[in-house]
């Protein structure tokens, strides 16, 4: 998938239509189940997939799950350059690079105490991205309590859910560095999502696509997050635990798509 197309998908989430991404964690699904999840998420209208996983995931697993998701996408959208993309959402260079994906959410865990998750892993992987054909979407990720496995593995200095001031500092630094996106993440399976009161002041300042995820389980929580300024909503667990995945996800995706974008008249000149 063309790099520009992916960058457009994210930048247009601020000016045209907010988007929803479904995150898939290989350790939480069998291969058969991942097909069901992908099909149900596509039926619900999801705009793309993140293939991640921070524990017990090796390169072979990422490759295998990536190929399975890619097969679903190619069967559903044969030859369609505008189809929902599959992005890697890696916990490390060692496990994250698989050529079945269209691109990679190229993360720096901004509030990590470990230089490996700030820049060192990334410097090991970046030279190989063009050869593998992975379009990088630069992403400054900020982890909040409880942080989940990603927060623990990434040695994050977790922010309190109400600490929007510190988060704003990291987000503004990411924007100043020229990252494509900023991700406010409470960690997969978090009992509570990041509060709207934390998202709002960051969305008022940061003119980069704002991803929000971790603990978003129902339509009301998602409505609060997009109304507060989230441009991209990421959900994972809500599909993992729900046999009738389609119904709950369709309601969530509908709310994301119905919410007007932050800058309907285009990004203001600064
Ligand atoms: C994890 O934000 C994603 O990075 C998804 O979180 O599994 O809690 O939806 P959930």
- 29 C-alpha vs ligand 1 centroid, how far in Å? 14
* pLDDT higher than 80, residue 84: yes
**pLDDT tens for residues 123-167?**
998 999 989 889 999 999 999 999 988 899 899 999 999 999 999
Other CB atoms within 10 Å distance of the CB of residue 17: 17
- C-alpha distances (whole Å) from 262 to each of 12, 142, 167 are 10, 21, 19
Which position has the higher pLDDT, 101 or 200?
Answer: 200
Question: Which has the minimum average pLDDT: 19-33, 148-162, 210-224, 245-259?
Answer: 19-33
pLDDT score of 233 more than 80 = yes
According to DSSP H, which parts of 77-158 are helical? 93-96, 115, 121-125, 129-132, 148-153
pLDDT of residue 31: 76
Question: Which pLDDT band, with edges at 50, 70 and 90, does 56 fall under?
Answer: low
Residue pair 216/207 in contact by the 8 Å Cβ criterion = no
* Statement: residue 190 has pLDDT above 80: yes
Distance of CA 122 to the CA centre of its chain: 17
3-state secondary structure of 129: helix
**Side-chain-side CA neighbours of residue 159 (13 Å):** 26
Choose one of 213, 245, 253 to mutate for the ligand 1 pocket test, by most ligand atoms within 8 angstroms of C-beta.
213
Distance 119 CA to ligand 1 centre (A): 23
Ligand 1 mutation target, pool 24, 144, 152, 216, most atoms within 8 A of CB = 216
What is the predicted pLDDT for the residue at 54? Answer: 59
Residue 102, CA distances (Å) to 48, 83, 201, 209, 241 in order? 10, 11, 32, 19, 27
Bridge partners, residue 182, by sequence:
140, 210
What's the rounded mean pLDDT across residues 78-92? Answer: 89
3-state SS assignment for residue 206: coil
The residues lining ligand 1, judged by C-beta closer than 6 Å to any ligand atom, are 23, 185, 188-190, 213-216, 234-238
Cα dihedral sign, 248-150-89-168:
positive
Q: What band does 57 get if pLDDT is binned at 50, 70 and 90?
A: low
Whether residue 99 has pLDDT greater than 80:
no
pLDDT at 257: 98
Per residue in 38-53, pLDDT (tens digit) is 999 999 999 999 998 6
220 with 13: CB under 8 angstroms? no
For residue 107, list its beta bridge partners.
Answer: 139
Rounded distance from Cα 269 to ligand 1 centre (Å): 33
Please determine, for residue 62, whether its predicted confidence score (pLDDT) is greater than 70: yes
Cβ(97)–Cβ(125) below 8 Å: yes
């Amino acid at each position: 998938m063309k790099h520009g197309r992916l960058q457009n998908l994210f930048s247009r989430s601020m000016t045209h239509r907010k988007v929803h991404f479904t995150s898939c964690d290989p350790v939480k699904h069998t291969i058969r189940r991942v097909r069901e999840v992908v099909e149900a998420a596509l039926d619900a209208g999801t705009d793309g997939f993140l293939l991640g996983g921070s524990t017990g995931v090796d390169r072979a697993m990422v490759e295998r799950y990536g190929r399975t998701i890619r097969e679903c996408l190619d069967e559903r959208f044969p030859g369609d350059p505008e189809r929902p993309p599959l992005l890697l959402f890696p916990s490390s260079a060692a496990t994250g690079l698989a050529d079945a994906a269209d691109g990679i959410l190229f993360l720096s865990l901004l509030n990590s105490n470990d230089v490996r998750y700030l820049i060192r892993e990334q410097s090991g992987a970046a030279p190989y991205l063009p050869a593998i054909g992975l379009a990088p979407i630069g992403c400054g990720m900020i982890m909040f309590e409880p942080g989940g496995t990603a927060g623990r593995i990434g040695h994050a200095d977790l922010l309190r859910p109400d600490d929007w001031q510190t988060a704003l500092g990291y987000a503004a630094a990411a924007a100043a560095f020229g990252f494509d996106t900023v991700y406010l993440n409470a960690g997969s399976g978090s009992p509570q999502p990041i509060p709207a009161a934390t998202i709002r002041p960051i969305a008022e300042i940061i003119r980069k696509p704002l991803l929000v995820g971790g603990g978003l389980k129902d339509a009301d929580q998602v409505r609060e997050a997009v109304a507060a300024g989230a441009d991209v909503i990421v959900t994972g667990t809500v599909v993992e635990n729900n046999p009738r995945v389609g119904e709950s996800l369709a309601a969530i995706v509908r709310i994301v798509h119905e919410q007007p974008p932050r800058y309907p008249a285009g990004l203001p000149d600064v």
